[in-house]
Amino acid sequence: MRWAPLLAASLFFVGFARPVDLVPLALATAVTYGIALRLASLPAWSTAARRRWLLLGTVALVGGLAAAKYLNFLEEMVSQAAALFGARLSLQPVHLLLPLGISFYTFRLLGYLLDVYHRRVEAERHAGYFGLFAAFFPQVSAGPIERARDFLPRLKSPERFDIDRLASGATQVAWGLFKKAVIANRLAVFVDQVFAAPPGQGLNLVVAAWLYAVQIYCDFSGYTDIAIGLSRLLGYQSAPNFDAPYASRSVAEFWTRWHMSLSFWFRDYLFLPLSYAATRRERRDTFLGLRVETLAYVQATAVTMVLCGLWHGASWSFVTWGALHALYLIGGQLSRRVRRRVARRTGLASRPSLHRALQVVVTFNLVSFAWIFFRAPTLAKALEYLHYMQIKPSATGMGHMIVGVGLVAAFLLAEWICRRAAPFRPLPLPVRAGLLAATACAIVLFGVDAGNEFIYVRF
């Protein structure tokens, strides 16, 4: 019966600030639950009927998300298109409050519906279990986007009380809070100041882009640590959502380490189907000098990453961020042979440590450059930021910058030590309890209350 109090807690969590947020969650859950049962009842040979039900569910889920997030963006595009033909449309913006977690639970439910359609999972008949899958409070507002095949079986397997799991979960929650309150919030003091007024900032603009990359990592991975730690306290082992993404040697590798649940969702439900469809459509081995498989990769990557950017928000800056990552991925795929040849001729291939370090540095800078478009409120603001960016010292905010750089260095060292030592030297429970208490004290003493929410909650 543990699903009942957890479902009640989850509904309370979603509706605490705005009870109306429960309405879109309930509608999306009910529609997905009913259509999944209908799909399961239809025989495999009734392809047309099953496709119609899948289309109905997809339109309902995606339509609800589009109405909540993109209505004003669509109105803006219609007005701009009309202006090209000399017409003026005065469309009034619709002021809607974004329902809590709608982007995340929509993808959870849509992935479940597609899995049921393809018979990867059986349709869940227990309404309480399914409702908890959609609304599980540690994950509903900002992920991770768990799959039904991973989450639902855990609800049906009894878990016994385990003090080690309790300590592990509490430690991860504390570490996530530390990353958010002490590191991300403190970096935000400098980053927000620089992004608010780019003119005259000089070198600060370069450093702020680097520090924002660390800020958003600590902010979002901190939230993920809290969500996974809380899940572990309740007896559920969630999949990891981050794996040292800034140690990646390429942008393609970065996307296997950053926001992994979203990356793998886009890979499985969008990128791979688009790639297969493009490959089947072409009957030639090559087209425009490219192999069909490469051309399919280019097409699927472009669509996937632009939609990934749009998923984050209805803004051209997000679309540009996604398009930049598409260019990185496509460029990396097309230049593999050239880069290998350059590595051999310059001697980097025989010095793997140096080669790896250069790849990490280049990847981090590419990702940090794209983060500028992600952080800027509009595309015009991002371009203004780039316009004033230069390698020229500035005394503005120097104290906050020095503190931020030192904090980042200490954090990266601590995370490196934890990744290397934790698997091989499990600490006794009293020592872990002491470290947990010390972390709590550090949060109280050094945390910054900047009044800023978790970055990904707004999506």
pLDDT of residue 19: 93
> Quick check: 96 pLDDT over 90?
no
Q: Is 312 a catalytic residue?
A: yes
Task: Examine the domain organization and report whether 264 and 289 are in the same domain.
Answer: yes
Do both 90 and 9 map to the same domain?
A: yes
Range of the domain at 209: 163-242+395-458
Catalytic residue among 312, 325, 355, 387: 312
Residue 349 confidence (pLDDT) above 50: yes
One domain for residues 107 and 34: yes
Q: Across residues 338-364, what is the average pLDDT?
A: 91
Mean pLDDT for 202-225 is: 91
What mean pLDDT is predicted for residues 46-69? 92
Q: How confident is the model at residue 31 (pLDDT cuts 50, 70, 90)?
A: very high
The reply to whether 315 and 406 lie within a common domain is no
| Domain match, 351 and 433 both | no
Q: Give a yes or no: residue 388 inside a domain.
A: no
Whether residue 259 sits in one domain with residue 326: yes
Statement: residue 178 has pLDDT above 50: yes
Question: How far is residue 456's CA from residue 239's CA, in Å, rounded to a whole number?
Answer: 18
In a domain, 387, yes or no: no
pLDDT at residue 308 greater than cutoff 70: yes
Same domain, 71 and 132: yes
What is the band of 287 on the pLDDT scale with cuts at 50, 70, 90?
Answer: low
**Taking 80 as the threshold, does the pLDDT of residue 240 lie above it?**
yes
Contacts of 3 (CB under 8 A, 6+ apart): 126, 128, 129, 132, 155
What is the rounded average pLDDT of the residues 196-209? 86
pLDDT confidence tier of residue 154, bands split at 50, 70 and 90: confident
Q: What is the pLDDT of residue 220?
A: 94
Tens digits of residue pLDDT in 401-435 = 677 777 777 777 777 766 665 544 567 778 878 88
Residues 124 and 238 in one domain: no
- Judge if 265 and 321 occupy the same domain: yes
Domains held by the chain: number: 3
Domain assignment present for residue 134? The answer is yes
pLDDT at 423 (0 to 100): 45
Any idea which of 15-19, 87-91, 295-299, 366-370 has the lowest mean pLDDT?
A: 87-91
- Given a cut of 60, whether residue 395 has pLDDT beyond it is no
- Residues 134 and 26 occupy one common structural domain: yes
| Per-residue H/E/C for the chain | CCHHHHHHHHHHHHHCCCHHHHHHHHHHHHHHHHHHHHHHHCCCCCHHHHHHHHHHHHHHHHHHHHHHHCHHHHHHHHHHHHHHCCCCCCCCCCCCCCCCCHHHHHHHHHHHHHHHHCCCCCCCCCHHHHHHHHHCHHHHCCCCCCCHHHHHHHHCCCCCCCHHHHHHHHHHHHHHHHHHHHHHHHHHHHHHHHHHCCCCCCHHHHHHHHHHHHHHHHHHHHHHHHHHHHHHHCCCCCCCCCCCHHHCCCHHHHCCCCCHHHHHHHHHHHHHHHHHHHHHHCCCCEECCEEHHHHHHHHHHHHHHHHHHHHHCCCHHHHHHHHHHHHHHHHHHHCHHHHHHHHHHHCHHHCHHHHHHHHHHHHHHHHHHHHHHHHCCCHHHHHHHHHHCCCCCCCCCHHHHHHHHHHHHHHHHHHHHHHHHCCCCCCCHHHHHHHHHHHHHHHHHHCCCCCCCCHHHHC
pLDDT of residue 293: 83
Share of the chain above pLDDT 70, in %: 88
Confidence at 282, pLDDT banded by 50, 70, 90: low
Task: State whether 413 and 438 are in the same domain.
Answer: yes
What's the whole-number mean pLDDT along residues 287-300? 79
Instruction: Compute, in degrees rounded to 10, the torsion defined by CA atoms 133, 139, 141, 143.
Output: -110
Mean pLDDT of the chain: 86
- The predicted pLDDT at position 424 comes to 42
Please tell me the predicted confidence (pLDDT) of residue 156.
83
Assess whether pLDDT exceeds 90 at residue 371.
yes
**Residues 8 and 149 placed together within one structural domain of the fold:** yes
> In the listed set 370, 386, 407, which residue is the last one of a domain according to the structure?
370
Question: Of residues 2 and 396, which shows the higher confidence score?
Answer: 2
Does the predicted model carry a pTM greater than 0.75? yes
